[in-house]
């Protein structure tokens, strides 16, 4: 198992997958890690719909494509780094559809205040992504399909209180991903008050 800090430093979005399946035993490890996240009042208001069925997976990938091509791409053309734009194009036009598993991460408003759902559900999602990376799996946290919440909820038979918040595509990476591009923590940290660099040397 890789070192925790190696996992953190290599985790990134994977948008092209090989045809190889992901065994349930690995999914269990990934989902177990997800459920050890903190949550407001320890309500653990998450629900994971693990989609293997090809038709349902295809539907989710299709909703993702529709939202991207129906306006999100046009907006992102002027906002997103060209490299990421091209990769999302690749994911939405076939890459995501080839992932053997789509985990729809939901928040249950029946078991927690709705306003706390994102802050409780996304730590669990991050645990899931890190666990996937630790096991060598590729993963992509996506939210495009949630813009078509009704269609997504219908295809998964979600009760009204269960809100789809993200779709994580999971599988084996078709190619090796390079290192993530991130701004150094040094530029994001302040000493005692905003604007004073914490790091003096
Ligand atoms: C809240 C959130 C929503 C995201 N939604 C999408 C998405 O809908 N489609 C997608 O391809 N990537 C999505 N991403 C992945 C980001 O594009 C990715 O994390 C970011 O560009 C960093 O790229 P890297 O992982 O390659 O370093 C999302 C990430 C977050 C945190």
- Taking CA atoms only, the protein residue closest to ligand 1 atom 7 is 142
In a domain, 157, yes or no: yes
In a domain, 198, yes or no: no
- Please state the pTM of the whole predicted model: 0.97
We report the CATH number of the domain holding residue 47 as 3.40.109.10
Per-residue pLDDT averaged across 40-66, rounded? 98
The mean pLDDT value of the chain amounts to 97
What is the number of structural domains in the chain? 1
Cβ–Cβ < 8 Å for 169, 17? yes
Query: Which ligand 1 atom is the nearest neighbour of the CA of 91?
Result: 11
Give the Å distance between the CA of 26 and the centre of ligand 1.
23
Query: Which ligand 1 atom is the nearest neighbour of the CA of 182?
Result: 27
Show the domain range for 17: 4-187
Residue 201 pLDDT greater than 80, yes or no: no
In a domain, 61, yes or no: yes
Give the Å distance between the CA of 95 and the centre of ligand 1.
14
CA–CA gap between residue 177 and residue 199 (Å, rounded): 30
Name the nearest CA neighbour of 123 among 13, 9, 43. Answer: 43
Cα-based distances in Å from 36 to 97, 132, 155: 29, 14, 28
Confidence tier at 200 by pLDDT (50, 70, 90): confident
Per-residue pLDDT averaged across 168-172, rounded? 98
| Three state DSSP letters for 162-191 | EEEEEEEEEECECCCCCCCCCCCHHHCCEC
In a domain, 192, yes or no: no
Which pLDDT score, from 0 to 100, does residue 40 have? Answer: 96
- Taking CA atoms only, the protein residue closest to ligand 1 atom 4 is 142
pLDDT digits (tens, 9 = 90+) for 123-159: 999 999 999 999 999 999 999 999 999 999 999 999 9
CA–CA gap between residue 10 and residue 117 (Å, rounded): 27
Least confident among 15-19, 69-73, 75-79, 196-200: 196-200
Tokens of 3: 């070192």
Per-residue pLDDT averaged across 63-80, rounded? 96
Confidence tier at 10 by pLDDT (50, 70, 90): very high
Which pLDDT score, from 0 to 100, does residue 21 have? Answer: 97
Which pLDDT score, from 0 to 100, does residue 1 have? Answer: 87
Give the Å distance between the CA of 200 and the centre of ligand 1.
32
């Amino acid at each position: 198992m890789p070192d925790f800090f190696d996992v953190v430093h290599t985790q990134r979005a994977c948008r092209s997958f090989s045809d190889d399946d992901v065994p349930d035993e690995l999914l269990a490890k990934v989902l177990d890690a997800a459920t050890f996240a903190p949550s407001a009042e320890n309500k653990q208001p998450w629900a994971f719909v693990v989609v293997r069925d090809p038709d349902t997976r295809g539907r989710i990938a299709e909703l993702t494509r529709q939202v991207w091509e129906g306006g999100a791409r046009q907006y992102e053309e002027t906002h997103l780094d060209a490299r990421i734009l091209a990769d999302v194009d690749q994911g939405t036009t076939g890459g995501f559809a080839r992932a053997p598993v789509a985990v729809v991460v939901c928040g249950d408003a029946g078991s927690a205040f709705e306003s706390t759902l994102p802050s409780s559900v996304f730590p669990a999602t991050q645990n899931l992504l890190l666990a996937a990376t630790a096991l060598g799996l590729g993963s992509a946290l996506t939210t495009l399909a949630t813009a078509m919440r009704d269609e997504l909820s219908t295809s998964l038979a979600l009760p009204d209180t269960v809100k789809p918040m993200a779709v994580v595509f999971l599988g084996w990476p078709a190619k090796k991903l390079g290192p993530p591009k991130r701004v150094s923590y040094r530029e994001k940290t302040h000493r005692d008050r905003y604007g004073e660099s914490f790091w003096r040397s």
